[in-house]
Structure 1
Amino acid sequence: MRPHSLSVLVASVLGLASSLALAGLPRLFPDDAVKAKMQFSPTGVVQVKGEALRLSPGAQIRDTANRIVLPSHIRGEYTVRMLLDNGGQVHRVWILTPEEAAMPEPKR
Structure 2
Amino acid sequence: MSSSNSVTVQILDKEYSIICPPEERSNLVSAARYLDSKMREIRSSGKVIGADRIAVMAALNITHDLLHNQERPQAPTSGATREQVRDLLERVDQALADDAGSKPA
Q: TM-score, normalised by structure 2?
A: 0.26
Instruction: Tell me which protein shows more strand as a share of its residues.
Output: 1
Instruction: Tell me which protein shows more helix as a share of its residues.
Output: 2
When Rg is computed on C-alpha atoms for both structures, the one with the higher figure is 1
Q: TM-score, normalised by structure 1?
A: 0.25
